[in-house]
Amino acid sequence: MTLKTIPHVHIETFGCQMNESDSELVRSMLKREGFVFTEDRERADVVLVNTCAIRENAHKKIYAHLSELKALKQQRPLVVGILGCMAQNLKSELAEHEPLVDVLAGPDSYRQLPSLLTNALAVQEQGLSQKGFALDLSEYETYEGIMPDRNSGVNAWITVMRGCDNFCSFCVVPYTRGRERSRDPESILREARDASAKGFRQITLLGQNVNSYRHEAWDFARLIAAVADTAGIDRVRFTSPHPKDFPAALIDTIATHPRACKHIHLPLQAGSDRILELMGRTYTGAEYLALVDRIRATIPDVVLTTDIICGFCSESEEDFQVTQRLVEQAQLDSAYIFKYSERKHTIAARKYADDIPDRIKGLRVAQLVELQRSITLKRNRRYIGKNVEILVERDATRSSTQAMGKTDGNITVVWDKKTGDVGPGALITKHIVDASAATLYGA
């Protein structure tokens, strides 16, 4: 490095678990090249913002954040880099209208970050301004051979594949992360062993359509079983699958392997077949319910969660009522429910009008949240009076006198701490004495 001083980098991550995992890769690559990371933004020579492009709220948060960085950059020299999906999807807008941005790097271009940042810092030392962009999508990049630099904790994210071939009409991922490609399973297993050696007790396997993982003779069911066999790992989770390819072998592996968590996040998006077809989801509401029944028949104690979008293009009141009825029928354990927000470059943005008023979208979200809340409360109350195994994570959010952890089904449990309690990473059993729609309470 030809700079006068060792640069300090501060990275801030928005969005999904994949972005968290990508930030760990970025830290690893930059540390290897001599960069030093700091939690204090005020001490940083470089601020990197790893962005999400999935929903409008994420965009608003990031633009508000850029306004803060603009004020900071007016006070002292600072290199600002935008990474991730928003950098890839809105590259022209960011390059032309955000003069404070020095570096743009998409999800497939992180290997170029050390040189991009070194150049930006060197140019800045000379009192000049020069932007650096790396925004090409790759058919091959999986960041093979790079061991993530993880923060301490209980869970380790492992990205097993990148990109997506589904092209759901509302989704920007194929345009920001490219086509599907799966990692070599041996590299995944090396990463799992490394995570275990560093004290992580749980692994979450990540991919945009994780159950379509394929590498030579390996499918996702085989991969889960192999990762779950890693010495020192107590639990293995995964997210997110697609209902279109959920083979019996995968369900059987989850059912029979003691360390494969009995929790499946199964995105629905809508209940109306007409809307599902416009979304390009390739299944009907009846087929989704049949899959739910098949999973529950094989894994009776499974916890099922989902994603739902309200107010997609042309969604009528009748379409929305069909979604409500399906939610009532499915009786899923919880749901993430969002207003539809149009994303640039998607099929929906090109073909359909975003014609549902925001007020109607909001009302539908509120109605569905209330419905799901009542279902979740009923589902959670089933645990009252039972003993459940919990992986301890940390102090509870609301009180340092309480601890929290997760059940095998990923449900939060809170309990009062006692002298001699075990710390994060331990598996313990608690007796559930109460439940809300968000939390189980143990004793």
Distant-in-sequence, close-in-space partners of 395: CB < 8 Å, separation ≥ 6: 402, 403, 404, 417
Q: d(Cα 37, Cα 258) in Å, to the nearest integer?
A: 38
Strands 387-395 and 427-435: antiparallel
Q: d(Cα 69, Cα 31) in Å, to the nearest integer?
A: 23
Mind listing the pLDDT tens digit for each residue in 34-85?
999 999 999 999 999 999 877 667 677 887 888 888 888 889 999 999 999 9
Q: d(Cα 83, Cα 106) in Å, to the nearest integer?
A: 6
Is residue 441 predicted with pLDDT exceeding 60? yes
Q: d(Cα 184, Cα 127) in Å, to the nearest integer?
A: 45
State the pLDDT at residue 265: 97
State the pLDDT at residue 97: 63
Question: HSE-up of 438 (CA within 13 Å, CB side)?
Answer: 6
All domains of the chain in start order, with CATH: 8-134 (3.40.50.12160), 153-261 (3.30.750.210), 387-442 (2.40.50)
Strands 79-84 and 46-51: parallel
Average pLDDT in the chain: 94
Q: d(Cα 78, Cα 82) in Å, to the nearest integer?
A: 13
Given 3-state DSSP classes, what are the helix, strand and coil percentages for the chain, each rounded to the nearest 5?
40, 25, 40
Token pair 């943005």 in the structure block, residue: 349
Give pTM, 2 decimals: 0.93
Residue 55 gets which letter from DSSP? S
Angle at alpha carbon of residue 168, lines to 164 and 172, rounded to 5°: 65
Tokens of 370: 């209330």
Q: Are 14 and 62 in contact (CB under 8 A)?
A: yes
Residue 7 gets which letter from DSSP? P
Angle at alpha carbon of residue 274, lines to 212 and 379, rounded to 5°: 65
Q: What is the mean pLDDT of residues 125-143?
A: 86
Residue 269 gets which letter from DSSP? B
State the pLDDT at residue 4: 61
Mind listing the pLDDT tens digit for each residue in 403-439?
999 999 999 999 999 888 899 999 999 999 999 999 9
